[in-house]
Structure 1
Amino acid sequence: MLEWLNNWRQALSILKPALEEQPAPSPEIPKTFLHPAPRKTVAKKLLSDNRRYKLAVDPLESSLFYRSLEGKIVSRSLVSGAIEWQSEESGSPLRVTDQILWAVESDAIAAYSTIDGQLLMRSNQLWLPGEVTDSRCDLSEQSLRIALLRVRVQGTPGPSHEDSAAYQINLITGEVTKIYAFEGMRWDDGPNFKPRDDWRPNLQEVEGQIYPSVSSEQLLKINRPLGISESAQLQTASVIIHNYRTADATVRIVLSVFSNQPPYSPLWEAIINEYMIEEGPLPC
């Protein structure tokens, strides 16, 4: 009887094809926050916006956010330098409100939890023409405004063109509202060129706070190599951006963090950008 039962089960397994396991669908990323809430605190701007490198810090100055050589957003402990999390997608940090890091990610605006790096929101695809030139937070209007600019050089002596865009993000819901997009303004259009009145948003209306630079006296005591381009004096540390040239004509841009009290000991550093210098023939 037992042998017959086993034969019957084997016959059923042959007649019934095995079902292939379907991969679990990827969770859909929300376009707005699942739990909307007003923001009460905005971190100061760490460095000026018109740089290829973007840095941000949380209001408590516990974590520093930057774009790595691989293009990922990295969160590191400001004092110890321990990596806390890293984004899966390429992006650049903008500003921090409360415990939310706002970032530009490909052609979208994204929001990450500063604590564990959880992706909280990613907007629909937008028209982001180039580098972020300014970002401002306005708690009175619960908004974050960013401006982007791309300059297209047609060649010498051809004209240059600039493409601009600016967006306003609701800090409560994460919803993105486009407030300006303009393509193809020529720099040589002359004084007769009259763009429409709203062609560029007045970001100066929103006050932006920025950390002071590190003092010259402290920079001398830190004894960093030449090529310091920017610095920021925080309550807990000193942040310095400097660059140097290697033997193979590579320029490396380095993020260095020091203590802000004597003897100003180095805490950690990271290479955030590097590029080759193309040396052409000397002019006659």
Structure 2
Amino acid sequence: MLKWLNYFWRQALSILKPAVEEQPAPSPEIPKTFLHPAPRKTVAKELPYNLAVDPLESSLFYRSLEGKIVSRSLVSGAIEWQSEEYGYPIRVTDQILWAVQSDAIAAYSTIDGQLLMRSNQLWLPGEVTHSRCDLSDQTLRIALLYIHVWKGGTPAPNHRDSAAYQINLIAGEVTKTYAFEDTPRYDGPNWIPGDDRRPNLQEVEGQIYPSVSSEQLLKINRPLGICKSAQLQTASVIIHNYRTVDATQRIVLSVFSNQPPYSQLWEAIINEYREQEWEPPHC
């Protein structure tokens, strides 16, 4: 009789006892530098407007309309992978995609999009405007710029915040070389000797892809607007920034063949927004 009562008592307790929820496994911590340092042997040229391409020109990397990094086949347009984090690409060295991720510099595998390294928190005032990759000393240098547009009632200069960082391509270590807030002027990407407020980003021959020729652009039926382009070996990459009929500002990435009749291979909208009209303050 006692055994029978004990059995049912244990059964009742097991029903009343709340179930213990299994805790999800903690996400693996992303290293601040590479776990397996290795020298880089090749580097892709620089592309405009936060685009990147691998040295073999098989994949194009860009920031999507949702703010994620997308890897896409340059010729077919097939999406190969998309990052889980927000960010935009800078450059590719070997099989490493360097990118800005929120307030840090990150490195992704160009093959599968695995996040390999993320630096400590940095002060990144704006988007990367220039980059220089030097394999002789295994470094990648980037410059960032943010313009505070003056909208007051009396004339005044725009203020600009700028910074520059150096990235060790072997270890993935990021060091600050320059940071300046509220800069009153900016004279370009070249460093003036003796002035530590500007990054040293002298152009390296063959580092930047040439622009698409005007003759080719005229043969491509695109909306009027600001245009940036890059002529690769396998394709022509064109960025159009134009205003739609409903007053929406749209930025479109288009990839064309670089041979007549210059047929379009694929395109993607990478930014879209409505400009807010500024109204002077009421007295």
Cα distance, 1:201 vs. partner? 2.4
Aligned to 1:37: 38
* Moved >6 Å (runs of 4+): none
Cα distance, 1:46 vs. partner? 1.8
Cα 1:185–1:279 shift into 2, 3 Å: closer
**Matching of residue 120 in structure 1 with residue 121 in structure 2:** no
Residue-by-residue CA offset, 1:112-143 (whole Å, 9 max, x unaligned): 01111000000000011112121110101100
Distance 2:52 2:217 in 1: 21
Which residues of structure 2 form unaligned runs of 5+? 187-192
Q: How many residues align?
A: 270
Cα 1:206–1:219 shift into 2, 3 Å: closer
**Matching of residue 80 in structure 1 with residue 58 in structure 2:** no
Aligned to 2:244: 246
The secondary structure found in structure 2 opposite 1:218 is helix
Residue-by-residue CA offset, 1:68-102 (whole Å, 9 max, x unaligned): 11111111110111111111111111000001100
CA contact (8 A) 2:230 2:237 kept: yes
CA contact (8 A) 1:228 1:240 kept: no
Aligned to 1:61: 57
**Matching of residue 25 in structure 1 with residue 26 in structure 2:** yes
Cα distance, 1:207 vs. partner? 5.2
CA contact (8 A) 1:137 1:208 kept: no
> One-letter code of the match for 1:34?
L
Mean Cα deviation higher: 6-15 or 76-85: 6-15
The secondary structure found in structure 1 opposite 2:129 is strand
Distance 1:68 1:230 in 2: 17
Given the alignment, which residue of 133, 137, 142 partners 1:137?
133
**Matching of residue 105 in structure 1 with residue 101 in structure 2:** yes
CA contact (8 A) 1:138 1:207 kept: no
The secondary structure found in structure 1 opposite 2:39 is coil
Cα distance, 1:18 vs. partner? 4.1
Cα 1:278–1:153 shift into 2, 3 Å: closer
**Matching of residue 89 in structure 1 with residue 85 in structure 2:** yes
> One-letter code of the match for 1:178?
K
Cα distance, 1:279 vs. partner? 5.8
Aligned to 1:192: none
Distance 1:152 1:114 in 2: 34
CA contact (8 A) 2:96 2:110 kept: yes
> One-letter code of the match for 2:166?
Q
Distance 2:61 2:51 in 1: 6
Cα distance, 1:219 vs. partner? 2.2
Residue-by-residue CA offset, 1:33-85 (whole Å, 9 max, x unaligned): 111100000001122xxxxx311111111110111111111111101111111
- TM-score, normalization: structure 1? 0.85
Residue-by-residue CA offset, 1:227-252 (whole Å, 9 max, x unaligned): 25111111111111123332211121
Cα 1:131–1:245 shift into 2, 3 Å: same
Aligned to 1:269: 267
CA RMSD in angstroms comes to 2.7
> One-letter code of the match for 1:125?
Q
- TM-score, normalization: structure 2? 0.86
Distance 1:44 1:138 in 2: 11
Cα distance, 1:12 vs. partner? 6.8
Cα 1:277–1:164 shift into 2, 3 Å: closer
Which residues of structure 1 form unaligned runs of 5+? 48-52, 189-194
